[in-house]
Amino acid sequence: MRDLGAAFGGGVADEGIDGRSVRDPRAAFGGASSTKASTEGRLRDPRAAFGGASSTKASTEVADVRDGYVARFQGKEYEASPDGDNVRIYLPHAEDGFDEVKPGRYVRVVALSEVDEFCYVRTTCTWRGAPFVVLAEHDAWLRVEYTGGRAPVARELGLEEFDFGVYQGWAPRKDVSDLREIRV
């Protein structure tokens, strides 16, 4: 999962995980700006909901927060995407057999039969006693989506209704528990 601060290239709006336009959360504090005017699909500054402005890393670090396909090929795990009977595997740097598709993005197409493992990885957690999927991270904050399926509980938790029946918010990383990766 990419760090939202880096993903926005200094604050310019970018395409989010689900293809919607997202905004650098620092923009609300004058630290970055967005050129897109749409209010739909933006991610709010995580600190605004809690009155804090700390940007220090949480002390309880776990492996990368991930949400997407991965493939194990020749003993190494890669970010991946399905492509019919093939799998596209990606690297952020040049390596033999990989073609550059844009600066900092290299791809190799391999047959699904050559891949040792192919699955979808999600990071989940518990926050305020409720279950969540972790969508992204920024500094010491996690962008979380409620998976409990009860709208009254989601509203009680102070989450924003991102879409019909979809509730999201920013959680301080230090306040979440059971942060783990699941493979589907």
CA distance 78 to 176: 27
pLDDT (0 to 100) of residue 63: 58
Q: What does the pLDDT look like over 100-129, one tens digit per residue? A: 999 999 999 999 999 999 999 999 999 999
Run of H or E including 106: strand 105-111
pLDDT band (50, 70, 90) for residue 27: very low
Between 77 and 25, name the one with better pLDDT.
77
Between 152 and 48, name the one with better pLDDT.
152
pLDDT band (50, 70, 90) for residue 156: very high
Residue 174 is classified by DSSP as G
Task: Give the pTM.
Answer: 0.60
